[in-house]
Amino acid sequence: MTSETYDAIHRDLEALARLLGPHVPVGAVSDWKGAIVAAVASHFGNIPHQRCLAHVDRQAKRLLPKHSPYQATQALRRVASFLMLVEIPTDPHVWQTSLTRWEKQYGSMLKEKTHAPTGISRSWWYTHGNLRRAWRLLTHDQAPLFVFLINPLIPKTNNALEGVNSNLKQKLGDHRGMSVQRQTAFLSWYLAFTRVKTDNDLKKLWGWWKSEFSRS
């Protein structure tokens, strides 16, 4: 698939559900795109779904520049960074207290408006748009941020998978110009052989291929 549309994710999860049979995943971790959240719920019901904290952290830092001239921006960036350090059930309360403290000190900036000069179609806009976006990112629907504290089998990030994806993208970049069909074949072979660690694994893989080809 060339993009993470609902249809693409739906087809992948449909195939996964068939492979799992009666078994249901203990949980999911994602970057919380709407299509992913909807598809997981559609195929696996109300399983625990963790929002990847690494994605939240990176998104917050993009909205809150490290060298911003505003103390409010720098302070909220520090609060956002603490999210990755959450490890025990009491940590979310400490983090929430930091958010409340920030709101008391700088919350008025979230409501500041800039009025447009004559001739502009818009009459006004929020002065600190990125600050508002970061605030909403950290405060809206917080429950998915801390699912991993309830279920230890669920990690708080999908960094392990992101590392694999990043490596695959690099491999495709090294072989620019291939058609989508060839890209798919290349990735299939690459994933297969990078997971063959021993001669016994190779024999199992070869045996599976022979059985598949004989049936076809």
Burial of 113-124, coded b for 16+ CB within 10 Å and e otherwise, reads eeeeeeeeeeee
pLDDT of residue 30: 95
Torsion, Cα 196 1 37 6, to 10 degrees, reads -150
The predicted pLDDT at position 216 comes to 65
pLDDT of residue 192: 86
Close Cβ partners of 162 (under 8 Å, ≥ 6 residues apart): 54
pLDDT in tens, the chain (216 residues): 778 899 999 999 999 999 999 999 999 999 999 999 999 999 999 999 999 999 999 999 999 999 999 999 999 999 999 999 999 999 999 999 999 999 999 999 999 999 988 777 788 999 999 999 999 999 999 999 999 999 989 999 998 887 788 888 888 888 888 888 899 889 888 888 888 889 898 888 888 888 888 876
What integer pLDDT is reported at residue 35 of this predicted model? Answer: 94
- Bridge partners of 49, per DSSP, are 28
Angle formed by the axes of helices 6-20 and 34-44, to 10°?
30
* For the chain, domain boundaries: 1-47, 54-144, 161-215
Rounded Cα distance between 122 and 136, Å, is: 23
Q: Which residues pair with 50 in a beta bridge?
A: 29
CA–CA distance, 73 with 135 (Å, rounded to integer): 10
Residue 175's pLDDT is: 84
pLDDT of residue 85: 96
Distance from C-alpha of 20 to C-alpha of 94, rounded to nearest angstrom = 39
Identify the pLDDT of residue 169. Answer: 87
